[in-house]
Structure 1
């Protein structure tokens, strides 16, 4: 078997295709979470804490005196812990959402199938029916 045919057999397996789809969807979902944190959550946090902007929280390591992170990076090395805080919040939100999705998937997969309706009992045998008729006629 040639290397090309082996690769083709490997690439079209369900697991590889599923993984590729998952990576693509995960990348797009990461962008959504990044926008949620950067455009919705962080402005609210900033408003609550008096207008602070985490993106400009840094410690200059080269002794520079800059007011923004961009200026500080141009001047030398910086420890941008504000960016780290934002990325950590992104991660926590993404991890929580994935946890909730997996929890729901597991709940749906482990849900027991509904019990089938009880079957109608079979009709009594002919001799039983005959004996009941005799009994009923004797009672009269």
Structure 2
């Protein structure tokens, strides 16, 4: 969990937000509302899940970060006004083994000036792929 907190702090600093107490108001360093996110994939569920991959994504004023396709990922988020859940597939037509090996995907940070924290646990990596193979946001 400390690693994730450090990644979020790094992403927020890159977006021009000061590392302050949670009750303090962040001041952007530009005319653009900050959008800096940390996306992770972890084996397991809950706070003790072992993070396997993590990428950063900053969408304002331009798409940057360690995400392999930052421009496409930012465009997908803009289309849903930052609603990550809307980017998941509701179709369950992929045949997946009935093996419980939980995989947790999370997105934490700031989207257009508003703090977001999204987390979803899938029964296994096949189920995660079935739900998240809808675009480039989750392809990292």
TM-score (norm. length: structure 2): 0.21
Larger radius of gyration: 1
TM-score (norm. length: structure 1): 0.21
Higher RCO (Cα < 8 Å, 6 or more apart): 2
